[in-house]
Amino acid sequence: MALVEPVLDEPAAVADISGGSGDEHALVVADYHAGIERSLRREGLEVQSRADARRERALDLVRETRADRVIFLGDLGHAIGTPEGNEHDELAALFDALDVPVTLVVGNHDGGLADEFDVDATPPEGARIGDVGFAHGHTWPAPDVLEAETICVGHEHPTVRLEDEVGGARVERAWLRGPLDAAPFEKYHGEELDVRGDLAVFPAFNDLSGGTWVNVEGQGFLAPFLPEACPDAELYLLDGTRLGRYSDV
């Protein structure tokens, strides 16, 4: 079994964080973006709050996967600064409801969140737990993270645009996964690295947060190391369908 296994039909995965012994598993979700509706309303979009639905789905996944821990892979909150108002209330309700430990991999939207709620948090460059590395993806991961067997990142919100024979189109959230190329990271860190694992780019848990259409020309990647660090990444839909190399879809 792989160290990181997607949960079928869900923007979430289960990670073996026990160093391969299988004794401790974490539910991993990226880009929860609590309180995003407030931001969307400021942009003129009338969207009802989905806070309760997000929380209940996360709790269901904890139960269904029998997770020992939840790892939020960055952007748990949506505001750049300390959470306030509805966002604060949503996060407080989420933490109160979770009955397993929480680790926050700090993302670019999480400023002040860890201190406000006294949450166990990683540095912005991520952390390694067992044989799995975790980083949000908005900045370059630390060398120790990169030398893990599997590296999990969010931030990108990967989506794929699919067309049918009659010209109809739809956009779906997707996974990107493939072998890491050490060269971009060695250039950035200025040292030789033992990079030989694979990269898993998570879809956004929050379906209101938009995303990068990775198979549409002109759509640039958000992470500073993509696509150069994983040029052969393949696309997978949430239902497990393998679409092949992202650049060929």
Pairing of strands 69-72, 127-129: unpaired
Q: Is the pLDDT of residue 66 over 70?
A: yes
The whole-angstrom distance between residue 80's C-alpha and the CA centroid of its chain comes to 17
Tell me what pLDDT residue 164 has: 72
Tell me what pLDDT residue 194 has: 95
Residue positions counted in the chain: 249
- Residue bearing the bigger pLDDT, 123 or 112: 123
Q: Please provide the distance, in angstroms rounded to a whole number, between the alpha carbons at the two ends of the chain.
A: 27
3-state percent helix, strand, coil for the chain, nearest multiple of 5: 20, 25, 50
- Please state at what angle helix 51-65 crosses helix 85-97, rounded to 10 degrees: 20
Stated pTM of the model? 0.93
Q: CA–CA separation, 151 vs 35, rounded Å?
A: 27
Q: Determine if the peptide bond prior to 227 is cis (ω within 30°).
A: yes
Backbone phi, psi, residue 151, to 5°:
-115, 125
For tokens 């959230």, the residue is 173
Tell me what pLDDT residue 126 has: 97
Tell me what pLDDT residue 136 has: 96
